[in-house]
Structure 1
Amino acid sequence: MKIKRFFAKDMRTALLQVKEELGSEAVIMSNKKVAGGVEIVAAIDGESSPSTASQRLNKPQQPAQSQYTQMAAPAAPAGRRQLDDDKVSLQTSAEGGRSMTKRFANMLKQYSHGADDEPQHRAENEDSLSALLNRQSSTGHKPHSNHQPHSNRQSLGNQQSSGNHQSSGNQQSHGSLDSAFARETGLSKLIAEDRRVERPTPRLDPTRYDRGRENPQSKGSDAEMETMREEMTSIRRLLEHQVSGLMWQEVERREPLRAMLIKRLERMGVSAELADQMACYIPEDTKPARAWKALLALVADQISVTQKDILKRGGIVALLGPTGVGKTTTVAKLAARAAMEYGADNVALVTTDTYRIGAHEQLSIYGRIMGCPVRVAKDSSELADVIYQLRNRRLILVDTAGMGQRDVRLSEQLDTLMQESGSVINSYLVLPATAQRKVLQETIEHFRRIPLSGCILTKLDESLSLGEFISVVIQNALPVAYIANGQRVPEDIVIAQPKYMIAKANELLEKSTENEPHYWNSDSEGL
C-alpha cells in the first residue's frame, strides 16, 4: 500500500491533487485543517499506481463469464461442482460491484455536467464528491482558482468515461470492490465534516419582539392580565382591611383601656403611630379618668420648647413660613413686646415682602406706632446692607415674603447670607394650628433646608383641634417658642408651655365630643 500526504489551500484543490497523483481508486485515510489550508492523507494499493490505475480505467474489462472460464480451465473435472458454486458467488459479487461502480459513476457524471445539472441530482447525490467540489468552488474568491476547475473537470470527465466503460463491462474483482467501498466511506466522512464546518450559525431576528407587540392576541392577553392584577390588588386591600379590623377587635378584647386611650388620642388629632406608642405606657388596671390624665402628662413631656426667650436673647430673628400664616402680625407682636421692655430704640423691623401690593405698608404702620425704624430689602445684598446698618440694635426682626412650602428661594438667600456675611440669623418657622397634619409635615421638610431654631404656633383661636400640631412637633423634635391665639397686638401671644398646649388640646376635644355619651370627659387641671 502506498500512503501519501497532501497539502492544499482548500479541500477541493487537495482532492484534485489526490486524483491526479494516486488516481480515482485512492482511499482518503484522514483529513484535517492546518495553518494555511487543509491536510489529506490518501492511500492506494501497492499493486496499483497512477499509470496502471489510468490504464485500468481506459482498458475495457473482459466479461465476468470469460474470466471465470480462464480461471476454471486448469481445474480437474472432479471439482466442477465446487467451481460452479464459486461461479455463482462470484457473479453475485460482480453484481454488487456493478451497483457500487454505477453509483460512483453517477457521482462523477453529476460533477461533469456542472452547475446546470446540480439542482436535479442534489437530492439523490447530496453526499457525493461533486457536491463537495461545487461548494468549494463557490466559496473560492482568488483569481487563479478560476482556471483550475476547467482542466480538472476534463480529467474527471475522462475518468468518468473510463468509469462508465468499466460499469458497462459488468466485471469487478474483490479488491476493486473493497477499494470502491473504502473510497465511498472516506469521501462520505470528508463531506460530512466539511458540511459541519460550513454550516452557518443561526441569526436572531431583531423584529420578533416587535411582531409580538403588534400581535392583537398579545394585546388582549395584556389587558386581561392588567384586569386580573387590579382585581388581585382590590382583593388584597379588602383582606388587609378585614385583618386589621380583626386585629383591632383582638386589642379591644384583650386590652380595652389601651384601645380606648388610642381612640381618644386619635380623636384629638394625634397620629395613630404616636397614639399607639403613648398608650403602651399606661397600665391596663388603671382607672379610665386617671389613665387619661396620665396619658396627657406623658404626651406633654414629649413636647420640646425653646430654652431661651427670643426677646431676652435678642439678635437677628427671621420668621419663615408659607403665605397667610400670620408672620407679619407675629413680628408686630414681638416688636411691641420688645419695645415695651427694652425701648423702641433697641428694636428694628425689616421686611423682604415685595411681592404683594402694599405688603410692607402694614409693617410700616406698626413701626410708626411703636416708634421703631422699618427697612425694606429687595434682595439678599440689600438685606445684608440693612442688617449692617442696624447692627447696634438689640433685636432685629425680619419679616420674609410669604411663599408656598414648595418654594424655598428666600430660605436659600438667608442661608447664603449667613455663609457670606457671617451674620447669625435665628430662623423660626411659623405654623398655623388650622393646617392639616400632612401640610404641616411637608412645610417642615421643605424649610428644614436651613437650620431652624424653632417654630411659632399661630391661629390657635381658629383651630378645632391641636393634636395635628402636637404630633408634628413631637415626631420632628421641633422646639416651640411662642403661641399666638388672636389678632390683638401685643396681647395675643404667649411663651410656649407644653402643659398649656395639652390643656388646650383636651379642651378642644371635649367641645367636639360633648354630645357623644360614649366618650368620657375629664378635667385636665393640675397637669
Structure 2
Amino acid sequence: MKVKRFFAPDMRRAIKQVRDTLGADAVILSNQQVEGGIEIIAAVDYDEGLLAPATTSSSPATAGGTGVPADAAAPVSRAARTWAGASRDATQASATAGTPSGPESPGAPEPEVRAETRRPVAVDWSQDPAIVAMRDEIRELRGLLENQLAHLAWGDTRRRHPLYTEAMRRLGQMELDSGLMERFARPALTARDSDEAWRQVLAALTAAVPEARDELLDHGGVLALVGSTGVGKTTSVAKLAARYVLRHGARHVALVTTDSYRIGAHEQLMTYGRLLGIPVQVASDPKSLRDTLSSLADKRLVLIDTAGMSQRDLRLTEQFATLADAGVPVRTLLVLSATAHASVLAETLRAFSGVVLDGAIVTKLDEAASLGGVLSALIGQQLPLHFMTDGQRVPEDIQVARAGDLVDQAAELARKLALPREESMAERFGGQQAHVHV
C-alpha cells in the first residue's frame, strides 16, 4: 500500500493532484482544512487488513492475526492509523465486553478479534467553494437571461396587440390581481379602438363580480356579521337595523352582541338600540346565545354583532363554534374593509373560511384609495356582495350592492394612480405573453 499526503489551495486542485499522482483507484483516507488550503491523505493498493488493530499473538512475527509481518505494518503512515482509530477502539471495546472478568487461565487461547472495516471518508462535492461559486453565478446568469427574454416577449406582445397591453396596464393601475388582469384584458384583443376595448374590459369585470340577487333583510331570520377588528361591523349592524325599521317597523327586529372581550364593547350597540327603539341583548357563550335567540323567536329579524378579532386570533374558532351551536339557522355575512391591502383581504378570507359565509359587506368605500384588492377577493372567492357602505351616517350611508357601481368607482379611483411602468409589466407578464393570440 502506498500512502501519500497532498496539499492544495482548494479541494478541486487537491483531488486533481491525487488523481494525477496515484490514479483513479486511489482511496482518500482523510481530508482537513489547514492554513492556506486543503490537506488530503490518500492511498493506492489499499489493503484494509493493514489497518486492523494489532493484538497479542502466539507468534511474535505477526500482527493482528492477519499473517502480515509486523515490520510490514510499521511503515503505515500515522494518518492511516488515525483513520483506523475509531474502528480499533470499537473493536477492542467489543472484545473486552465479551471477555469474562477476572484473571485469565494460564495457557487459555486468546479470543480472535475481527477488525471491522470502515469506508473511506466521503467528499461532499456540493460544498466545494468553486462549485458553490459556480452555482451562484449560473443562478445569476439565469435570472438575467429570463429578465431579458421577458422584456423581449412583452415588447413583441405590445407591438402585435397594443390594445391588449394597454388594457393590462389600466387593470394594473386598478391594482387588480395579476391572474385576473390577464383574464379580463382578453376582450381587448378583438376591440377596434381603445375606448371600445376598455368598455369591454369593464363589462367583463362587472359580470364577474358575484352580486346578491335579492334583498337579504326581506327574508328575515338570524343574521350574524363577522370580520376582523375595525372593519365596521357594529356600525353596519346599526345601518341594517335602521334600514329594516324604516321599512317594517321597530317591533319586528332585535339586536344581539357576542362581544365580551373588549371593555365597553356593548355601549355603542346599546346606544344605537335606544335611538332606534329596539331591544339589545348580550350573549357571551353558546348557551346564553341559544337562550337569547329562543327568547327572540317572535322577531322577524335578529342581527348579531360578533366580536372583532384579528384574522390570526386563535379565539376565532370559539366564535365559529358559538354561531354553529346557536340552535337555529344563522346566516353569516363577512364584513370587508375596502381600505385593506389585497394580501390582508386574502388572509382574512382564509381565516374566516371556518364558518359558512353567505355573502359579504364592503365598508369604508369613502376612505379607499384603490378597490382592486376587494374586487380580487370577491371574484376569487365567489363571495356574493350584498351591501356597500361609504360613510358613518345611519342609515343613509349603506346601499344594496351593485357590481357596476363598484367597478365604476374602482376605475375612477384608478385614474388618480400612476400607470404601472413598462419594465414592471414586462417582468410580471413578459414570460407568459409570448403565447397570447387572438
TM bracket (short chain): 0.5 to 0.7
Equivalent position of 1:427 in the other structure: 332
Deviations 1:134-176 (A, max 9, x none): xxxxxxx9xxxx9999xxxxxxxxxxxxxxxxxxxxxxxxxxx
Equivalent position of 1:22 in the other structure: none
1:410 and 1:121 map into 2 onto residues whose CA distance is 78
Equivalent position of 1:238 in the other structure: 144
Post-superposition shift, 1:465? 1.2
- Matches of residues 60-139 of structure 1 in structure 2 within 5 Å? 118-120=59-61
- Matches of residues 112-191 of structure 1 in structure 2 within 5 Å? 118-120=59-61
1:286 to 174, 187, 192: 192
Is 2:361 the counterpart of 1:456? yes
Equivalent position of 2:342 in the other structure: 437
1:219 and 1:121 map into 2 onto residues whose CA distance is 40
> Aligned residues: percent identity?
41
1:342 to 227, 248, 253: 248
Contact 2:387 2:400 in 1 (8 A): yes
Post-superposition shift, 1:462? 0.3
Query: Runs of 5+ in structure 1 lacking a partner?
Result: 1-114, 128-140, 150-197, 517-527
Is 2:232 the counterpart of 1:323? no
Is 2:361 the counterpart of 1:447? no
Deviations 1:40-70 (A, max 9, x none): xxxxxxxxxxxxxxxxxxxxxxxxxxxxxxx
- Matches of residues 113-512 of structure 1 in structure 2 within 5 Å? 118-120=59-61, 200=114, 202-204=116-118, 221=127, 229-407=135-313, 409-415=315-321, 417-418=323-324, 420-512=325-417
Q: Which moved more, 1:441-450 or 1:234-243?
A: 234-243
Equivalent position of 2:433 in the other structure: none
SS at the partner of 1:203? coil
1:483 and 1:399 map into 2 onto residues whose CA distance is 17
Contact 2:191 2:197 in 1 (8 A): no
SS at the partner of 2:60? helix
Deviations 1:368-422 (A, max 9, x none): 000011111122221121111111111111111110112263454444543x454
Equivalent position of 1:49 in the other structure: none
Query: Runs of 5+ in structure 2 lacking a partner?
Result: 1-55, 69-98, 100-104, 422-438
Residue type of the alignment partner of 1:315: G
1:482 and 1:440 map into 2 onto residues whose CA distance is 17
Post-superposition shift, 1:200? 5.0
2:190 and 2:239 map into 1 onto residues whose CA distance is 46
Post-superposition shift, 1:340? 1.2
Residue type of the alignment partner of 2:222: I
Deviations 1:233-252 (A, max 9, x none): 44433333332222211211
Post-superposition shift, 1:510? 2.3
Deviations 1:61-104 (A, max 9, x none): xxxxxxxxxxxxxxxxxxxxxxxxxxxxxxxxxxxxxxxxxxxx
Deviations 1:12-63 (A, max 9, x none): xxxxxxxxxxxxxxxxxxxxxxxxxxxxxxxxxxxxxxxxxxxxxxxxxxxx
Report 1 or 2 for greater relative contact order, CA contacts < 8 Å, sequence distance ≥ 6.
Answer: 2
> CA 1:226–1:452 in 2, change beyond 3 Å: closer, same or farther?
farther
> CA 1:475–1:372 in 2, change beyond 3 Å: closer, same or farther?
same
Equivalent position of 1:170 in the other structure: none
2:311 and 2:124 map into 1 onto residues whose CA distance is 46
Deviations 1:313-361 (A, max 9, x none): 1111111110000001100100111111111111111111222221210
Post-superposition shift, 1:284? 3.9
Contact 1:316 1:397 in 2 (8 A): yes
2:179 and 2:62 map into 1 onto residues whose CA distance is 87
Post-superposition shift, 1:261? 0.4
Contact 2:225 2:304 in 1 (8 A): yes
Q: Which moved more, 1:322-331 or 1:247-256?
A: 247-256
Identify the structure with the greater helix proportion. Answer: 1
Q: Which moved more, 1:420-429 or 1:447-456?
A: 420-429
> CA 1:231–1:423 in 2, change beyond 3 Å: closer, same or farther?
farther
Equivalent position of 2:45 in the other structure: none
Compute the RMSD of aligned alpha carbons.
3.3
Deviations 1:155-204 (A, max 9, x none): xxxxxxxxxxxxxxxxxxxxxxxxxxxxxxxxxxxxxxxxxxx9957434
Q: Which moved more, 1:503-512 or 1:220-229?
A: 220-229
> CA 1:271–1:240 in 2, change beyond 3 Å: closer, same or farther?
same
